[in-house]
Amino acid sequence: MNAPAPTLARETNAAPVVLRAENIGVTFHGNGKPVEAIRKVDFELHQGETLAIVGPSGCGKSTLFNAIAGLLRPTSGHVDVGGVRVGDAAGHVGYMLQKDLLLPWRTVLDNVMLGLEIRKVPKPRAREIALELIKTYGLAGFEHTKPAALSGGMRQRVAIMRTLAFDPEVVLLDEPFSALDFQTRLLMQADVSRIIAERGKSAILVTHDIGEAIAMANRVLVLSARPATVRALHVVNLPREGRDPAALRTDPLFQEYFAKIWADLEKPAGVA
Ligand code: ADP
Ligand code: MG
């Protein structure tokens, strides 16, 4: 049997709920036998928090992400964002994928403007918003540069700007840094966390990287191997602000969280 859904969220965070996922189940019906990817997953996201969702490779994280983003209709359950059911309307979420490549033929400015154009924001206004973001986040001077001439970290920063440009209620990140080298990844984790906090966004980070989850999230939801079910929910209380991302990882608290989450991932199926 499944463990009862954790209720830590309500006990530890008084901020309003911006996203609620209830009883999410996803089964794929392909040519062969059905593949159950997700089973009865519940969680809430509070205003201003970052929730990390970790689980082993292939457990159903991206599938869950797609259900939250409204890219896939779950077999059971539903997701509400800002009280609106995802699927009935385009959820007010901005997402960034692992392979969220920038359009190579577009400049930095045009890439940041993309989401605004799709949402029919008038071009002069879109340009203004994009230029402001580019300036704020340290890419002034690169407005007319094509992505190929940027470093991996800079490209990632353009991708997060594009995600934030239309001011989504919730930011969804699916393994956003996995294509980067280790050093750049640590720096980007700190960078993106800071940007999300500065803009007062709520975020869901999907990752298989425990360290990334602890470095970036206020809470960590641990999923089992496929079909993904909720194994545990950890509250992460770690002073992160202004800290060197490498030094953060040597904090005994960081290592304590790491060991706990690692142990949750290791549990055999059926053990809550
Ligand atoms: P993760 O992101 O955790 O690595 P995914 O959500 O991508 O895992 O996949 C979970 C499981 O669902 C995998 O076994 C995968 O093969 C299967 N799966 C994903 N998408 C489909 C699909 N469209 N049709 C059939 N099976 C799928
Ligand atoms: Mg995935």
For the Cβ of 62 lying below 6 angstroms from any atom of ligand 1, the answer is yes
> Atom 20 (ligand 1): residue with closest C-alpha?
63
We find that the CATH architecture of domain 1-89+169-177+185-272 is 3-Layer(aba) Sandwich (3.40)
Span(s) in the chain for CATH 3.40.50.300: 1-89+169-177+185-272
Of all residues in the chain, the percent with pLDDT exceeding 70 is 91
H helix count then E strand count, the chain: 9, 10
- Residues 174-198: what's their mean pLDDT? 89
pTM attached to this predicted model: 0.89
Q: Point out the ligand nearest to the CA of residue 178.
A: 2
Q: How confident is the model over 216-254, as pLDDT tens digits?
A: 999 999 999 999 999 999 999 998 888 888 889 999 999
Q: How confident is the model over 78-116, as pLDDT tens digits?
A: 999 988 898 866 668 888 876 667 899 999 999 999 988
For the Cβ of 238 lying below 6 angstroms from any atom of ligand 1, the answer is no
| Residue 7 reports pLDDT greater than 80 | no
| Residue 1 reports pLDDT greater than 50 | no
Phi, psi of 45 (to 5 degrees): -120, 130
CA–centroid distance, 227 to ligand 2, in Å, is 14
For the Cβ of 207 lying below 6 angstroms from any atom of ligand 1, the answer is no
Q: What distance in Å separates the CA atoms of residue 145 and residue 139, rounded to the nearest whole number?
A: 10
